[in-house]
Amino acid sequence: MEDRHLIPTKSTSVGPNLHTEVVDPYYRATSQLTSLLASFEANTAADVGCGYAGITEDIAIALPPKATLYAVDTDPEVFPASYKPASCQVIELVQDVYQLELPTQVDAIISRFLLLDLADPLAAVTAMRRWIRPGGRLLLLEPITTTGRIGTRAIASASDEIVDQDIGLRLYDLLAALGAEEITIDAFTPVGLGASLAGRYLGAMTGVDPAPSTFISLPTLVLACGHIQ
């Protein structure tokens, strides 16, 4: 399951070598996600398909100190031993997204690098929608993998777990199918040479270090947010 969540946050173990530490080149996407969440003043939220990456902690810190965040994943091994003291209350739930059963409706649901692995993403976001209170938000963060380039060569994932590596292209349609309003779309594409942050991240993720002068364009990451009524 190491390669399911392709994008970590801050300094986190990724790729084929889980002891490799790299700084997240998609930090602007993480910052935009947490800024949006903070602006909603949500008192309850859920991170569905939270995975190994440390973005759950960033989400918890973006919420008010007395808020509750449900961290949801099918694998109980992904949860950390503890969360940062500054974060809100985090409650871990081992659940499948299709059978999502939160203790209560929440103000916001965040889903990251989950839909690309699913055969029926519409059923998944429909299940999430049931647990968002009227006036709440659904935030989706997914890649368009084939936009990535190493020089002029396209980047494509060889993972058997990924169903739709370009699911980021469908996020607007998925939110619209739910009847979401005020849909916003942002896109983030880190670029650099082989020795840059983007190149080091690619090397950690794939195990292949690009030449220092090779142009790297990492896959575009799409952040979509919809207002649920």
Give the tens place of pLDDT for each residue, 33-64. Answer: 999 999 998 999 999 999 876 789 899 999 99
Instruction: Give the mean pLDDT of the chain.
Output: 86
Phi, psi of 99 (to 5 degrees): -110, 40
Residue 3 has pLDDT above 60, yes or no: no
Rounded Cα–Cα distance for residues 113 and 163 (Å): 12
pLDDT of residue 182: 96
Considering the domain boundaries, does residue 220 fall inside one?
A: yes
Considering the domain boundaries, does residue 1 fall inside one?
A: no
Please name which of 42, 44, 58, 60 lies closest in space to residue 7, comparing C-alpha atoms: 58
Assign residue 50 the CATH number of its domain.
Answer: 3.40.50.150
Considering the domain boundaries, does residue 39 fall inside one?
A: yes
Residue 1 has pLDDT above 50, yes or no: no
Considering the domain boundaries, does residue 6 fall inside one?
A: no
Considering the domain boundaries, does residue 187 fall inside one?
A: yes
Rounded Cα–Cα distance for residues 171 and 162 (Å): 16
Q: For residue range 200-213, what is the model confidence (pLDDT) as tens digits?
A: 888 887 777 888 89
Percent of the chain whose predicted confidence (pLDDT) is above 70: 87
Considering the domain boundaries, does residue 5 fall inside one?
A: no
Q: How many domains does the chain have?
A: 1
**Residue 146 is part of which domain span?**
11-227
Q: Is 145 helix (H, G, I), strand (E, B) or coil?
A: helix
